[in-house]
Each structure stands twice: as structure tokens, then as C-alpha cells.
Amino acid sequence: MTEVTMTVNGKSVTADVEPDTLLADFIRQNLSLTGTHVGCDTSQCGACCVLVDGDSMKSCTMLAVQADGAEITTIEGLATNGTFHPMQQAFHDNHALQCGFCTPGMLISAIDLATKNPDISESEIRHGLEGNLCRCTGYHNIVKAVKAGADAMRG
């Protein structure tokens, strides 16, 4: 067992974990934050994306111990005081989710893209989301939403 400490959605957490515990499992099982999803075993689907020190990372591909000292934001940490993050609002307004399973990872990746490239184009969005699979929406409304969310984030 190894002790890890990290800040998750603004709260400091400390826990003993097996050294081979994946960050995704730590978040889902130890912290009971089940909004982060696991959709594959080859780092391909992106359902598990969380922000690690501001970067979208696949939490299935990181060990919990690698996140020691990091600042993590999961989907549960996006809204503030019951108000949607602009990207959440844009996903809602543009019907960018159907079953909702890919949504946590999509939102995290979208926020990462829009933060780093505030005036992002459609083709940059499409390439930027290449690591996130959605089987339901056909991406059309997700792309629209990311553009709208990026615009809203710029204010």
C-alpha cells in the first residue's frame, strides 16, 4: 500500500492504495465519484478523461500514485453552486449527449481544447476530439456544442 494525496474537485483527499491502482479505479471506487466512466482497456475511448493539473488525461492510463500531489477535476467538479459550467450548458443547449456514457470524457476534453485554443475551429475540434469515442451522437452536435461552449468560455 502506498499513501497518495491529491486535490479532487477542490477537496484534498489522502488514501492508501495498491501501487497498481489505476487513477480511474481510485476515482470511481475509493472516492465513489462514478461520473468518470471506463469504456475500454486500450486507452482508446476517452470516457475516463479527467483534468490533471489542467490537462485532459485518460485516467485509465495513469496510476493513482502518479497523480500524487496533483489537482484533479472530474465531471462532478465542473458545475459551481448548481450552475452549469459554460461547456455543460452548451452540451445541454445543443443536444450533444444521448446515452450520456461518453459525456464526462467529452466534456473534460472539450474544456481542455477550449481553454488552450479559445477561438477553436470546427476542424480543430474534430481533430482534438479524436481520442474520445461516442457511439450515439455522430459527433455533429458535440462539435456544435464545443464551439458554442468555447465561445461562452471566452465570454
Partner 1 sequence: MPDTGLDTDLENAEQVVIGNGIGARVRRKEDKRFLTGKGRYADDINRPGQTHAYFVRSQVAHADIKNLDTSAAEKAEGVIAVLTGADVAADELGGLPCGWGIMGKNDVPMHEPPHPILAIGTVRHVGDPIAVVIAETKKQAKAAAQLIDVTLEEKPAVANIRAALADGAPLVHDGAPGNVAFDWEIGDRAAMEEAFANAAHVAEIDIDNNRLIPNAIEPRVAVAEFDTGTGDYTLFVTSQNPHVHRLLIAAFVLHIPEEKFRVVAPDVGGGFGSKIFPYPEESVVTWAAAKLGRPVKWTAERSESFMTDAHGRDHVSHAELALDKDGKFLALKVSTLANLGGYVSAFGGAVPTFLYAPLLAGTYTTPAIYCEVKGVFTHTVPVDAYRGAGRPEATYLLERLVDRAARETGLSQVDIRRKNFIQPDAFPYQTPVASCYDSGDYEATLSSALKKADVDGFEKRKADAALRGKKRGLGFSTYLEACGVAPSAVAGQLGARAGLYESAVVRVHPTGGVTVFTGTHSHGQSHETTFAQLVNDRLGVGLEHIEVVHGDTARIQFGMGTYGSRSLAVGGEALIRAMDKVIEKGKKIAAHLMEASENDIEFEGGSFKVTGTDKETPFGAVAFAAYVPHNYPLETLEPGLEETAFFDPLNFTFPGGCHICEVEVDPATGVTEVVNFTAVDDVGRVINPMIVEGQVHGGVTQGIGQALLEGCVYDDNGQLLTGSYMDYTMPRADNVPSYNVGTELTLCAHNTLGVKGVGEVGAIGSPPAVINAIVDALSDLGVTDVSMPATSQNVWRAIQAAGGAK
Q: Does 117 sit near partner 1 (CB under 8 A)?
A: no
Residue 57 DSSP symbol: E
Shortest CB 46 distance to partner 1, Å = 9
> Pairing between strand 71-73 and 2-8?
parallel
Q: Does 35 sit near ligand FES (CB under 6 A)?
A: no
| Residue from 4, 36, 70, 111 in contact with partner 1 (CB under 8 A) | 36
Transcribe 9-28 into DSSP letters. TTEEEEEEE-TT-BHHHIII
C-alpha cell at 53: 493539473
| Residue from 8, 51, 129, 150 in contact with partner 1 (CB under 8 A) | 129
Other beta carbons within 10 angstroms of residue 9's beta carbon come to: 17
Q: Does 143 sit near partner 1 (CB under 8 A)?
A: yes
Give the C-alpha separation, 76 to 91, whole Å.
15
Residue 129 DSSP symbol: T
| Residue from 111, 120, 125, 150 in contact with partner 1 (CB under 8 A) | 125
Q: Any bridge partners for residue 4, and if so which? A: 15
Q: Does 98 sit near ligand FES (CB under 6 A)?
A: yes
**Interface residues toward ligand FES, by CB under 6 A:** 38-40, 43-48, 58, 60, 97-103, 134-137
**Interface residues toward partner 1, by CB under 8 A:** 28, 33-42, 44-45, 47, 74-76, 78-79, 84, 88, 91-93, 95, 97-104, 107, 122-123, 125-127, 129-130, 132-144
